[in-house]
Amino acid sequence: MITPSILLACLLAATAPTAETPAVKSVEPVVAKEAASKTSEPASEDTPAALKKKVVYPTTVKVQKDVAYLGGTRKEKADIYTPLNHDIAKPLPGIIIIHGGGFNDGDKARGRELNISENLTLQGYVCMSINYKLRRMKDQVTWPQSVYDTKAAVRYLRKEAKNLGVDPDKIGAIGCSAGMNLSMMLATTGPADGFDVVKDEPYQDISPKINCAVGFYGAVDLMNYHDMKMFAKTREEAPELYKRGSPIYYIDDKDPPMLLVHGTADKTVPISQSEAFLRISKEKGANCVLEVIPDAPHTFDLQPKQRDLRPLVTAFFDQHLKGKTLPAEIKSPEAK
């Protein structure tokens, strides 16, 4: 007679790993595996799983969803935020909001972008949160299309200024992570750099110039970062391409005011990226400041647990888009 204890011992022996039957290894998640790749962007909170979440737009402002700012043939859209009581006869400054996600992922309506869009709109701005060309397939080249798209967003906001109640002469930009790279490309590049006049891109007769830019924890010197999938080439294979995708190489004294925000605990994009951008800006005579957030990691919105950043960012835009004096309680960030 086989007792329960004997049966259990037999089952355990049958399932135990042997030389002929190796133990089954746990399957590593695709995102984590890609993050460990030498040529992949590090993992962040901008993961494809977040796309499954239902978007809950704020009700404190008006939101025009999925605006075809790039034309009818492009799937990338924009959400446009306006104050509830906005009188288009009294135009407000506009702000382009550019999401992050390593140039491979992200969305205009993720939690971070919703937070930024709502908070800035409540402070008297018309905000345009955009999607842009992302790398989705192996060997797919999506740069410089992402740069063209962000410039098209500025042009669209300027083109529709009268209909949206936007002052076309007062437009800024804010971007996080990959979005910081693009917001700084808006700030530092001009007609001579080859991104402004591009065949078949929309609204070529309208200027993509902005008045100021804010960047949160982004890579601005790709030659000193890591290989990027959006180029489908390594830094060793195409160093000039990586330099062209790095706003740090375009800085000069004609650039509009720029505010950088970076956390000291960022393990995805090291704070040295922002520090280098600040250093070159000072050498070139550009108006740039860096606000360092102690212990802040990669990926946060305007209200991280370390500090409420709404006063800082709002004051920066108010100063450069509304002509307001910087409040006494908001000191200019020190060079770190």
**207-231: pLDDT as tens digits:** 999 999 999 999 999 999 999 999 9
- The DSSP bridge partners found for residue 291 are 261
Read off the pLDDT of each residue in 112-118 and give the average, rounded to a whole number.
Answer: 98
**What pLDDT does 268 receive?**
97
Tokens linked to 177: 């992570």
Read off the pLDDT of each residue in 149-163 and give the average, rounded to a whole number.
Answer: 98
244 domain-assigned: yes
209 domain-assigned: yes
27 domain-assigned: no
How many domains in the chain?
A: 1
CATH number (domain holding residue 115): 3.40.50.1820
212 domain-assigned: yes
227 domain-assigned: yes
Give me the helices (H) in 219-292, please. Answer: 239-244, 272-284
Predicted confidence band of residue 141 (pLDDT cuts 50, 70, 90): very high
Helices (H) and strands (E) in the chain, counts: 9, 8
pLDDT above 60 for 29: no
Q: Give the closest residue to 144 by CA, choosing from 66, 240, 68.
A: 240
pLDDT above 70 for 16: no
For residues 148 and 198, give the distance between their C-alpha atoms in angstroms, rounded to a whole number. Answer: 8
196 domain-assigned: yes
Predicted confidence band of residue 332 (pLDDT cuts 50, 70, 90): low
Predicted confidence band of residue 33 (pLDDT cuts 50, 70, 90): very low
More confident residue, 39 or 139: 139
**What pLDDT does 205 receive?**
95
Structural domain boundaries enclosing 263: 42-321
Read off the pLDDT of each residue in 163-181 and give the average, rounded to a whole number.
Answer: 98
332 domain-assigned: no
pLDDT above 70 for 202: yes
- Residue 78 three-state SS: strand
**What pLDDT does 257 receive?**
98
- 298-320 pLDDT per residue, tens: 999 999 999 999 999 999 999 99
pTM above 0.95, yes or no: no
Q: Is 75 exposed, middle or buried (0-12, 13-18, 19+ CB in 10 A)?
A: exposed
